[in-house]
Amino acid sequence: MNSPLTRLARLPLAFTAVLCASLLASVARSDELPRVAIFATGGTIAGVQATPGAAAYKPGVLTLDHLLSKLPGLEKVARLDGEQIANIASQDITAELWLHLARRAAERLADPDVAGVVITHGTDTMEETAWFLRLVLRSEKPVVLTGAMLPATDPAADGPVNLRSAVATAASPAARGYGPLLLLNGELHSARDVRKTATEAIDTFQSPNDGPVGSATPAGPVFTVSANSLRPAPGDGFDLAALDAAKLPRVAIVSAHGDVDGTVVDALLALPAERRPAGIVLSGVGNGNASAPLLAALERASREGIIVVRSARAGRGLVNRNMEVDDDKLGWIAARALSPQKARILLVLGLTRTRDLAELQRLFDEA
Ligand code: DGL
């Protein structure tokens, strides 16, 4: 039996030359492909149902390797470096994980051979992770967070197309300069305004004030907003190297509602010093409002040195200073465009820099 090499040697010389040239060309092409680092953290995109299509499922089960094995052809879009950072439901995200993810992403973004980063993530807190990364990453390269609203085992799973589109976007020079982008359902959202607005709808992510910055498919992104029209990170961002999860200030969110009183705030004030928050974000009704008893409790908190920021549960519009609440008199801060959950993150990082009220308000004005 002739060996493959013997058989190759007997081929007409021209055919061998063409075969070798095409092999070299394919190797060259793969080397020319952009390199994309993918970090997996869990979520529904990695979720499994007991039986395909069942309502109940467990998020954060499948590995990134498994997810990528179901996406043939992705190797023709980019050279992929996968890393399983965690495999959790994103309601369990922590500051430790945010910092670890940010540091790994920063390291890969600093590599000249890396075109961009993709992060697979649960949708429950994806907007918060995107915002945290906006505040601590400084690269112009694309960072694209994506996930899914249906688990990987569902016949209508949206994860595969979201992941393909995220890789194509992270590999695209057109996506530079936007800061972290959130991609689901073919839409691209910047980190500041995007929020999860529905418990189960595929189009859950909306940017109520700003709208999406573009769209994305496995063929790549199309932007409708220019990168330089986006607001830069407030305060020029924060120094990732200087942040220590164990030393980050605690900031609580307190919700206003009908018939609310100051019980929750007073319970926070009764905590031992080491567990008391350094800041409280009010998730206010209307324009960041609350009942007289809750405002009085927040005033007690201020007098005890706790920084108070007024945000709103409404979901759209700005919370501006001195509307129904006299922020100047109370020494409080207006969250402006930030949702309560994003205002909390900015206040945590802002308090690592200053306790000056004017400087803190400037951070929210710039956000
Ligand atoms: N528990 C939710 C989370 O991990 C699942 C939702 C999802 O990932 O879409 O964020």
Interval 329-341 mean pLDDT: 98
- 49, 62, 90, 92: which to mutate for ligand 1, most atoms within 8 A of CB? 90
Q: What is the mean pLDDT of residues 313-330?
A: 98
Query: Does 8 have pLDDT greater than 80?
Result: no
Write the pLDDT tens digit of every residue in 254-272: 999 999 999 999 999 999 9
* Ligand 1 near 91 CB (within 6 A): yes
Considering only CA atoms, which residue is closest to atom 8 of ligand 1? 122
Question: Are the CB atoms for 273 and 238 separated by under 8 Å?
Answer: no
Distance in Å, CA 89 to ligand 1 centroid: 6
The protein residue whose alpha carbon is closest to atom 1 in ligand 1 is: 89
CB 171 near ligand 1, within 6 Å? no
pLDDT, greater one: 27 or 159: 159
Residue 46 Cβ < 6 Å to ligand 1: no
pLDDT value at position 346? 98
Convert the pLDDT of each residue in 38-48 to its tens digit.
999 999 999 99
Cα 228 to chain centroid, rounded: 20
Residues of the chain above pLDDT 70, percent = 92
As a whole number of angstroms, the distance between CA 81 and CA 65 comes to 10
Q: Give residues with Cβ within 8 angstroms of 206, minimum separation 6.
A: 189, 194, 195, 197
Closest CA to 365 of 323, 322, 334: 334
Percent residues over pLDDT 90 in the chain: 90
User: Given a cut of 50, is residue 28 above it in pLDDT?
Assistant: no
Question: Residue 218 in 3-state DSSP?
Answer: coil
- How high is the pLDDT of residue 32? 86
Ligand 1 atom with the shortest distance to the CA of 44: 8
Q: What is the pLDDT of residue 9?
A: 54
At a CB cut-off of 8 Å and minimum separation 6, what does 192 contact?
Answer: 131, 134, 210, 230, 231, 337, 338, 342, 367
Whole-angstrom distance, CA of residue 208 vs CA of residue 109:
30
Q: What is the pLDDT of residues 270-299, one digit of tens each?
A: 999 999 999 999 999 999 999 999 999 999
Residue type for position 157:
A
